[in-house]
């Protein structure tokens, strides 16, 4: 779904469509989350939408998607892995490794995972399936989604037509790559 296809729905349904698009993107239904949020920021900068309401609707949609995916993972995850894991090359041993890594790094993954397409969709399912604490999950998901939403809506608000929307996911990936490289160098040189 492209921005041009979304605009008529935005005009008819307003802030509810923002919530729905972010919800869908988080649970794994293809949606242009980053470019959409930048577009929202552009509309806010042009006084077509209210910044606070747009960012709030986006954050609520993202958190709602995270909660839904968490509970799907919590309810269906283990039985799904046991029954269908072999078809998607997820052996019990491989799943144990994933769970172990998530238990160790899940807090960071939930916070910065929003900036990595794919990871942001998998995180809540893995958290639910692995039995990650729901209160901790909720706090980290809410914080991560607010940071993610504010980053992209504000980017659109201030940069507006100065940056092409197609470059937004690349910029997000570059930002996260730089952050990870910084942490890797810092860890390597402190050891």
* 134-186 residue pLDDT tens: 999 999 999 999 999 999 999 889 887 676 656 666 766 776 777 778 777 77
Please report which confidence band the pLDDT of residue 3 belongs to, taking 50, 70 and 90 as the band edges: low
* Segment 9-14 long-range contacts (CB within 8 Å, at least 24 positions apart): none
Would the pLDDT of 124 be above 60?
yes
* pLDDT band for position 122 (cuts 50, 70, 90): confident
Cβ neighbors of 56 (< 8 A, separation 6 or more) are 15
pLDDT score recorded for residue 118: 81
The confidence score (pLDDT) of residue 164 equals 66
Mean pLDDT of 26-38: 87
At residue 135, the pLDDT reads 97
CA dist., res. 147 & res. 143, Å (int): 6
| pTM exceeding 0.85 | no
Report the C-alpha gap between 23 and 28 in whole angstroms: 9
What tokens does 126 get?
A: 């893995």
Burial zone of 189 (CB within 10 Å; 0-12 exposed, 13-18 middle, 19+ buried): exposed
Contacts of 171 (CB under 8 A, 6+ apart): 163
Q: What is the predicted pLDDT for the residue at 22?
A: 95
Work out the burial of residue 159: count CB atoms within 10 Å of its CB; fewer than 13 is exposed, 13-18 middle, 19 or more buried: middle
Rounded Cα gap, residues 141 and 59, in angstroms: 10
What is the percent of the chain where pLDDT is above 90? Answer: 34
Q: What is the model's pLDDT at position 98?
A: 82
Is residue 117 scored above 90 in pLDDT? no
- Every domain of the chain and the residues it spans: 3-190
Rounded Cα–Cα distance for residues 117 and 188 (Å): 27
- Select the more confidently predicted residue: 86 or 133: 133
Tokens 């077509």, residue located: 48
* Mean predicted lDDT score pLDDT of the chain: 85
């Amino acid at each position: 779904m492209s921005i041009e296809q979304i605009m008529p729905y935005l005009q008819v349904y307003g802030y509810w469509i923002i919530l729905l698009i972010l919800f869908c993107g988080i649970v794994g239904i293809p949606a242009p989350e980053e470019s959409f949020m930048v577009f929202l920021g552009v509309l806010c900068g042009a006084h077509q939408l209210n910044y606070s309401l747009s960012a709030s609707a986006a954050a609520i949609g993202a958190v709602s998607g995270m909660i839904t995916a968490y509970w799907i993972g919590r309810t269906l995850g283990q039985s799904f892995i046991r029954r269908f894991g072999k078809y998607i090359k997820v052996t019990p041993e491989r799943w144990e490794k994933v769970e172990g890594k998530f238990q160790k790094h899940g807090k960071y993954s939930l916070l910065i995972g929003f900036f990595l397409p794919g990871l942001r969709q998998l995180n809540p399912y893995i958290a639910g399936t692995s039995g990650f604490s729901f209160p901790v999950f909720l706090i980290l998901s809410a914080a991560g989604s607010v940071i993610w939403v504010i980053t992209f809506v504000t980017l659109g608000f201030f940069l507006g037509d100065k940056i092409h929307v197609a470059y937004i996911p690349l910029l997000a990936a570059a930002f996260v790559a730089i952050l990870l490289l910084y942490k890797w160098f810092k860890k390597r040189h402190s050891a």
